[in-house]
Structure 1
Amino acid sequence: MPGSNSTRTMVDPAAPEFVEGWSMVQTLGEGAFGEVKLLINRESGEAVALKMVDLHKHPEAETSVRKEMLIHKMLKHPNIIKFFGSRREGLMQYMFLEYAVGGELFDRIEPDVGMPSDQARRYFTELINGVHYLHSRGVAHRDIKPENLLLDVNDTIKITDFGLATIFRHSKRERMLDKKCGTRPYMAPELLAEKEYLAQPADLWSCGIVLVAMLAGELPWDEPSSKCHEYLIWKRREASYLGTSPWTKVSTCVLSLLRRLLQPTSAQRFTVTQIREHSWIAKHVTTPDIRHKSNGKTAPLTVSPESGPASKRICSELDNSFPVCVERMACSQPQPSVKAAFSQHLTAADDLDTDTLCFSQPAKPDHLLLASSPTTTNHDNSSATPLQRLVRRMTRVLVNCSLQDTIKHLDELFDTLHYRTAAHTPNILTVSTVDRRGAPLVMKASVLNMGAHILVDFRLSKGCGLDFKREFVRIKEGLAHIIVTGPVTWSLANATNTLPA
């Protein structure tokens, strides 16, 4: 389905229209303050992620959202998710972001296994490049974790979610930070020590924890404090930690890097320069290939004010000083400019608990519905149809019973797993449990009629991505007797009409 007509057919005519010509196709993620929706242009097939925050329900988020947008406008880097603009309607704030079709990094991490070392090295190098750029602009992210690291169509890391970001340097003057924010397993120890801290070492510590997660499929501790036995063993460099997980899963070379990167004293922690010079990184440095896989050529990064459909104004703010582009849903088509498409629609806080904001985008499209290994990577997406690039996700399964029976099986399984029912709307089951460290873990299961089969789409609403995947494995085992295990086909009309919105 490489032609433009095929991109038009993938949008359900009944899908809600955000503004003229742009339809909300599906929910990409959600958090306590709002949702992220996928917007598709009916004419061109262009895709944009729409982040929505309801300030009527959550007035406490207004300062943070305003700050997030101001910071995001400053950022223009290959490893940072692009910010296209914003729109305010009453107390509803909209942000328009690059659609990262590759999903979240955590979907590439197999629980308790991780991913191949070469793959982790490349992702880590791109992460460090992005973080180094942030710090060069005087920005601290303060919530680096796999759920906030997305992947584009070329499998390139994109740092996202700047809800906790702040400015730590302005006009060459740097300030100490004192807000204790982030996600505890990824936070640096100085953030929990009731004292001011330096921004850059704190972010780099979080990068180190991400590296452990990528290589071992687990986190080394619940939090880096005196309350945590695993952290104290690491801090004291007791020999016993070498024989424990996750350290037994990483090579000696990587362990030497982690010892310096996860140094409890921030002044002794590796800098970006030292990270790049470490043998595990330096011996494998390659020139980034940012060419599109469909044609081997670099996409034009130009903006034409005359291009794009003539529809009503979408955003109220846009920085037109830099060019951006986003992949069409069919790779073989020329790359459109989202700014160009929006050009006729546009004129150009610091303290939140990160658990209240958990925005994410769909998982890697290379994972088939019936689930390949999360460590499997296929960089060639050119053969994927627009529909396939929307619906493929590791945490989805097809089952061979009726919609009503599927809901019954899910209810019984959730009772067996001792999940608590948080909500039960038509065809959507919301359940909660706790993760390994006792924090809330909330999941949603959307039950969708695909014609010959039923699609059950599981999505993380709140909590740890790795623990969500562990729970999904348990759920999948519990549904094994009804899961379709062979090749399947379904009606394009059914599929597009039932994508979760």
Structure 2
Amino acid sequence: MAVPFVQDWDVVQILGEGAYGEVRLLVNRKTEETVAVKVVDMSSHNDCLENVKKEVCVHKMLSHANIEYLHGVGITHRDIKPENILLDEKDILKISDFGLATVFRHRGRERLLSRVCGTLPYVAPELMSRVEFRAQAADAWACGIVLTAMLAGELPWDQPTESCQEYTDWLQKKTYTTPWKKISAMPLCLLTKILSHNPEERITIPDIKKHRWYSQTFKSGTEIKPHSILNCDERVQMSSSQPEPQALWEISGSILQTGAPQVSFSQPACPDHMLLGSQLLCTPGASQNSWQRLVRRMTRFFTTLNAEATSLALRETCISMGYTWKQSCNTQVTVSTMDRRNNKLIFMVYFLEMEQRILVDFRLSKGDGLEFKRHFVKIKQKLSDIIINQKISFPTS
């Protein structure tokens, strides 16, 4: 399918769905460059137009290779989570999806926020109490939850309220329970400062950068430091092509105006396991071989069977697990189910022939990314007898 407003680009497939539309994979028919494009249905939501305007304004204001930067230009992301953290072909970290981002500081004037938005396991407790809150402390909290998931392989709670037993245990300092018992003393010490219930007592980003664990070096093939993704030029530079933040400030709401808090949650998350993989490689296809053009994810495998037999084995497995199976063609299947929090989970399965073998590629269509990976692991375990246990290596040049 061709994109009518983008010349020479073809839609290959839908990569995922969100609250306002879907993300599609586009390939340039001349250069074979691949990009991910967010397509928004502006007729389905009353507030969609204003949100799109806000997201466009935020993107125009940003000009930086990494992060540690957003708060410096007065922008809060408000939906920091693993699904919105990407890695490029050089493993450089990027933050994506600014659909919930807003301006909290303009010309030295800072406003408190009241809109409750984000993803429940990652939101700060002050958002749940429906009181006005400071943007920076809420983003710092979300980073602490992401760090917990990276170190322990699971999220600590469904939401930070006293009705949640896991969160109550945290408030009572029961760090001998999961996931805290999986984390060593030094990073756990940092997490206790980041995940402080009182935002006024919560550690700030400048102080996080001074913490002993943050500044140490880890060695794993190449030298890696916890601060490497944040340790970049903090000087705020805004070129003449970037918009005056006043327009976005007005869209976001005046400091002097108050109203009923809005609630806008993105997709929920609560996994048993967390698998990390980098995202779409936005590099020219002409310079890549068939292996390099594979997205480096952990949700695919090769099988010992042909395409028809592979499809049959997967179908029987999915049906036995209670999934809904809908096959639209020989190479594509839609699988749907409900996750543990009773939210819809839909993923696509593609059967690709590569070098006389069948690659089974799973891609999330709708639902939580970490829940999707948990289900993928279960499916893979049940199909272990037909899976080729071969590690795919990707050239770095």
User: What's the TM-score, normalizing by structure 1?
Assistant: 0.62
Deviation at 1:39, TM superposition (A): 3.5
Aligned residue in 1 for 2:364 = 460
Q: How does 1:438-457 map to 2 (within 5 A)?
A: 438-450=342-354, 452-457=356-361
Deviation at 1:279, TM superposition (A): 0.6
Task: Give the secondary-structure state (helix, strand or coil) at the position aligned to 2:117.
Answer: coil
Deviation at 1:439, TM superposition (A): 3.5
Aligned residue in 2 for 1:259 = 192
Whichever residue aligns with residue 477 of structure 1, its letter is Q
Aligned residue in 2 for 1:387 = 290
- Do the aligned partners of residues 479 and 73 (structure 1) sit closer, same or farther apart at CA in structure 2, a change above 3 Å counting? same
Could you tell me whether the CA contact under 8 Å between 1:222 and 1:437 is conserved in 2? no
Deviations along 1:407-441, whole A, 9 cap, x unmatched? Answer: 332222112212244x5422433233343444433
Aligned residue in 1 for 2:236 = none
- Do the aligned partners of residues 449 and 459 (structure 1) sit closer, same or farther apart at CA in structure 2, a change above 3 Å counting? same
Could you tell me whether the CA contact under 8 Å between 2:76 and 2:135 is conserved in 1? yes
Aligned residue in 2 for 1:396 = 300
Aligned residue in 2 for 1:95 = none
Deviations along 1:426-460, whole A, 9 cap, x unmatched? Answer: 24332333434444332222233447333221112
Aligned residue in 2 for 1:54 = 41
Q: How does 1:429-444 map to 2 (within 5 A)?
A: 429-444=333-348
Task: Give the secondary-structure state (helix, strand or coil) at the position aligned to 1:455.
Answer: strand
Q: Does 1:353 align with 2:265?
A: yes
Deviation at 1:470, TM superposition (A): 1.7
Could you tell me whether the CA contact under 8 Å between 1:365 and 1:388 is conserved in 2? no
- Do the aligned partners of residues 40 and 462 (structure 1) sit closer, same or farther apart at CA in structure 2, a change above 3 Å counting? closer
Q: Does 1:186 align with 2:122?
A: yes
Aligned residue in 2 for 1:196 = 132
Deviation at 1:321, TM superposition (A): 3.7
Distance 1:65 1:437 in 2: 29
Number of matched pairs:
344
Distance 2:90 2:115 in 1: 36
Could you tell me whether the CA contact under 8 Å between 1:218 and 1:466 is conserved in 2? no
Q: Does 1:144 align with 2:80?
A: yes
Distance 1:448 1:193 in 2: 49
RMSD of aligned residue pairs (Cα, Å): 3.1
Deviation at 1:288, TM superposition (A): 5.7
Whichever residue aligns with residue 135 of structure 1, its letter is H
Identical counterparts, % of pairs: 45
Distance 2:70 2:229 in 1: 21
Whichever residue aligns with residue 205 of structure 2, its letter is V
Deviations along 1:53-99, whole A, 9 cap, x unmatched? Answer: 132455652221221111111011112xxxxxxxxxxxxxxxxxxxx
- Do the aligned partners of residues 31 and 403 (structure 1) sit closer, same or farther apart at CA in structure 2, a change above 3 Å counting? farther
Deviation at 1:147, TM superposition (A): 0.4
Distance 2:100 2:143 in 1: 16
- Do the aligned partners of residues 288 and 224 (structure 1) sit closer, same or farther apart at CA in structure 2, a change above 3 Å counting? closer
Whichever residue aligns with residue 50 of structure 1, its letter is V
- Do the aligned partners of residues 184 and 487 (structure 1) sit closer, same or farther apart at CA in structure 2, a change above 3 Å counting? closer
Q: How does 1:87-236 map to 2 (within 5 A)?
A: 130=67, 132-236=68-172
- Do the aligned partners of residues 409 and 75 (structure 1) sit closer, same or farther apart at CA in structure 2, a change above 3 Å counting? same
Task: Give the secondary-structure state (helix, strand or coil) at the position aligned to 2:170.
Answer: helix
Task: Give the secondary-structure state (helix, strand or coil) at the position aligned to 2:209.
Answer: helix
Distance 1:286 1:477 in 2: 33
- Do the aligned partners of residues 151 and 16 (structure 1) sit closer, same or farther apart at CA in structure 2, a change above 3 Å counting? same
- Do the aligned partners of residues 65 and 399 (structure 1) sit closer, same or farther apart at CA in structure 2, a change above 3 Å counting? same
Aligned residue in 2 for 1:63 = 50
Could you tell me whether the CA contact under 8 Å between 1:413 and 1:478 is conserved in 2? yes
Distance 2:378 2:289 in 1: 31
Deviation at 1:461, TM superposition (A): 2.1
- Do the aligned partners of residues 21 and 456 (structure 1) sit closer, same or farther apart at CA in structure 2, a change above 3 Å counting? same
Q: Does 1:408 align with 2:344?
A: no
Aligned pair partner of 1:283 in 190, 205, 216? 216
Distance 1:289 1:149 in 2: 11
Could you tell me whether the CA contact under 8 Å between 1:365 and 1:389 is conserved in 2? no
Q: How does 1:463-478 map to 2 (within 5 A)?
A: 463-478=367-382
Distance 2:98 2:279 in 1: 25
Deviation at 1:43, TM superposition (A): 4.2
Could you tell me whether the CA contact under 8 Å between 2:215 and 2:227 is conserved in 1? no
Distance 1:221 1:288 in 2: 28
Task: Give the secondary-structure state (helix, strand or coil) at the position aligned to 1:64.
Answer: helix
Task: Give the secondary-structure state (helix, strand or coil) at the position aligned to 2:305.
Answer: coil
Deviations along 1:465-488, whole A, 9 cap, x unmatched? Answer: 222222111111122232234699
Q: Does 1:249 align with 2:182?
A: yes
Task: Give the secondary-structure state (helix, strand or coil) at the position aligned to 1:460.
Answer: strand
Deviations along 1:153-178, whole A, 9 cap, x unmatched? Answer: 22111011001111111221111111
